[in-house]
Chain A
Amino acid sequence: MIVVWYGVTVEDTSIIDTKKLTKTYGDLTAVDNLDIQIEKGEVFGLLGPNGAGKSTTLLMLTTLIPPTSGTALVNDFDIIRQPDQVRKSIGIVFQDPSSDEMLTGYENLKLHGLLYDMDSALREKRIVEVLALVELTDRKDDLVKKYSGGMRRRLELARGLMHHPEILFLDEPTLGLDPQTREHIWKYIKKLATEKKITIILTTHYMDEADRLCDRLAIIDHGKIVVLGSPDLLKKDLGGDVIHMRTRNFDIESLKELDYVKNVKTDDGSISVTVKDANQHLQDLLGRVGKVESVEVRPLTLEDVFIHHTGRAIREGAAEGGWAEKAMQARLRK
């Protein structure tokens, strides 16, 4: 979009621009006046606990549910006035399984190609291309019900890319998957971002996932942005390291006054101190605290950022029912 601003032409590179996007269900405000600009080509994360409004935001941006108020531009198209154009330019991998397990991997992709009105030559070419990308070529003729959770996720990722969308939405891409498979999926997402230069918007409640993948992320809680920035910056803002000590004798107030101490928290018999740089200040800090039973030093994580801004830990959630669980339910079909 080209914006003329005080006579100067400025290129506005944002590919998604939400304007007071809001969704309420009765008394519950799932998404509350959200204003986010997402740049072309970046991997943007919406991080927050279950029920924070991430998926609702995604469903509104993909035109599947209408906002209660406000709107958004996706690829310069308005989600309310031009939903058809929006849908043509996006791809999405949903939180729950969305492939038909009574069909083969190939047939699921063929179905997708037909839904996006591709002729057979283009369809076949793209199927070969995306199958190779997610390394499922040799399993393409197996029924999806014979796939593992990770393979199914990869198939859905391939499908989301098949029509060459400008923007790819991923809703909790690794929910319920085992660690190796998550690692595998992350590899593909990284590859897409660097090689294909697709704008990727993902939701997650896994801190490590957000940290690994996102160029920028917004921490969302109760439908509002709590803080927004690159993972590194968010961490740097809070300090550098956390020093965790088990001790009985400490004086919090005096620690808080030290200029290198960013934050002090106590828990039954232990104390966590966030400092700028543990290497430089550990000795001094230990001197002040006195006798300790144990000391643990670790770099600051996004989890700490989250706790700092929301005052609580992210709820590790089985509350919504995991992806694998839904897949099992779906298997009971018919």
Chain B
Amino acid sequence: MSDLRGIYALWYREFKVFQREKSRIVASIINPVLWLLIIGGGLGSVLSFGGVNYLSFLYPGILVQSVLFSAVFFGVYIVWDKKIDFLKEVLVSPMSRTSIFIGKVLGGCTDTLLQSAILLVIGYVFTVTGVLTGITFSPVSVVISCVFLFITTVGLVSIGLIIGSQMESPEGFQLISSFLIFPMFFLSGALFPIENLPSWLTPFVLLNPATYTVDGLRGTLVGLHRFNLGFDLLIISVFSVVMILIGTYAFKKMKL
């Protein structure tokens, strides 16, 4: 496939830029750690679910939160590329639109997953130092967690790129993606268990792909889960494949 170098090119660009923007990396790490320590610590003093303290219950949810926000917001860079003519430079190259989309997805996944990796390390350090209790950090649990995070990230980056490909302004992107990200976060079970919710909320929770990532990660790391892990994995895989297909189509139809 002659587009392999081009796909590498797009990934290379995102990676270089990511490396040079230290403030972006720092902010993307500090934010979830603050959530974990303040919300987790604060509510943890009065709450525990399923026999684990709230901080540990929250940790997998915070991993999903970080993935959700950075993966979807990655799509805003395509709006910036559109505002200058960088996007045209890529679109006028011999690469196919499908390959351009794949290159962008890989770039976004790298950024997002590097942040997840740092959060996993922080989680491990917290466990060793006793801040977090009841979390299983073993080679197997880390590998399974990474699989969940990777598949989810692919789908979420695709969503960001789909929105970005249709938007003219970064403000518009911010608005639309917020409408999506916040409900997805709050209705994913990241902050509270989904077993005994009011019946009108349940369908939204079950339709939310992030629910299955939270469930899978919490099952893997804390041992608390509602669905079978294989089922979780299946749902998020289907979600990501569908998003890739829609994203490829959106890139083909993208107007300048």
Residues of chain A at the chain B interface (Cβ within 8 Å): 59, 62-65, 84, 87-88, 90, 92, 94-100, 102-103, 107, 110-112, 114-118, 143, 159, 326-327, 329-330, 333-334
Contact = CB atoms under 8 A, between A and B. Distances in A.
A98 B88 contact: yes
A330 B89 contact: no
A193 to B, nearest CB: 21
A117 B2 contact: yes
B91 A100 contact: no
B84 A115 contact: no
A115 B99 CA distance: 10
A100 B94 CA distance: 19
B5 interface: yes
Contact of B17 (A95, A97, A103, A327): A103
Contacts of A115: 5-6, 9, 90, 93-95
A99 B13 CA distance: 11
Name the interface size band of chain B: 20 to 34
B204 interface: no
A64 B91 contact: yes
B26 interface: no
Nearest to B87: A98
A208 B78 CA distance: 36
29 contacts: A59-B256, A62-B92, A64-B91, A84-B94, A87-B93, A88-B94, A92-B88, A94-B89, A95-B85, A96-B85, A98-B86, A98-B88, A100-B13, A102-B17, A103-B17, A107-B13, A107-B16, A114-B6, A115-B9, A117-B5, A117-B94, A143-B20, A329-B83, A329-B84, A330-B80, A330-B83, A330-B84, A333-B77, A333-B80
Given A103-B16, A112-B89, 20 more contacts: A59-B256, A64-B88, A64-B256, A65-B256, A84-B96, A92-B88, A94-B89, A97-B84, A97-B86, A98-B89, A107-B16, A110-B9, A112-B93, A115-B6, A115-B90, A115-B94, A117-B3, A117-B6, A330-B83, A333-B77
Contacts of B92: 62-64, 87, 90, 92
A98 B9 contact: no
**Which residue of B24, B85, B96 has the most chain A CB atoms within 10 A of its CB atom?**
B85
Contacts of A110: 9, 12
B111 to A, nearest CB: 12
B21 A100 contact: no
Contacts of B12: 110-111, 114
Contacts of B84: 96-98, 326-327, 329-330
A11 to B, nearest CB: 28
A116 B85 contact: no
Contacts of B124: none
A187 B145 CA distance: 58
B186 interface: no
B8 interface: yes
B13 A103 contact: yes
A65 B253 CA distance: 10
Interface of B: 2-3, 5-6, 8-9, 12-13, 16-17, 20-21, 24, 77, 80, 83-86, 88-96, 255-256
Contacts of A116: 6, 93-94
A114 B5 contact: yes
B13 A111 contact: yes
A217 B256 CA distance: 27
A84 B83 CA distance: 24
A159 to B, nearest CB: 8
B102 to A, nearest CB: 13
A100 B86 contact: yes
Nearest to A63: B92
Contacts of A62: 92
Nearest to B95: A115
A23 to B, nearest CB: 12
Contacts of B86: 97-100
B24 A94 contact: no
A334 B96 CA distance: 27
A88 B96 CA distance: 12
Contacts of A64: 88, 91-92, 256
A326 B88 CA distance: 15
Contacts of B13: 100, 103, 107, 111
B9 A334 contact: no
Nearest to B9: A114
B6 A100 contact: no
Which 8 pairs between the two chains have the least Cβ-Cβ distance?
Answer: A114-B9, A94-B85, A98-B85, A115-B93, A96-B85, A330-B84, A98-B89, A102-B17
Nearest to B23: A334
A96 B88 CA distance: 10
Contact of B83 (A59, A88, A99, A326): A326
B85 A102 contact: no
Contacts of A100: 13, 17, 86
A102 B107 CA distance: 15
Contacts of B80: 330, 333-334
A147 to B, nearest CB: 14
**Which residue of B12, B86, B88, B89 has the most chain A CB atoms within 10 A of its CB atom?**
B89
A63 B97 CA distance: 13
A111 B85 contact: no
A327 B80 CA distance: 11
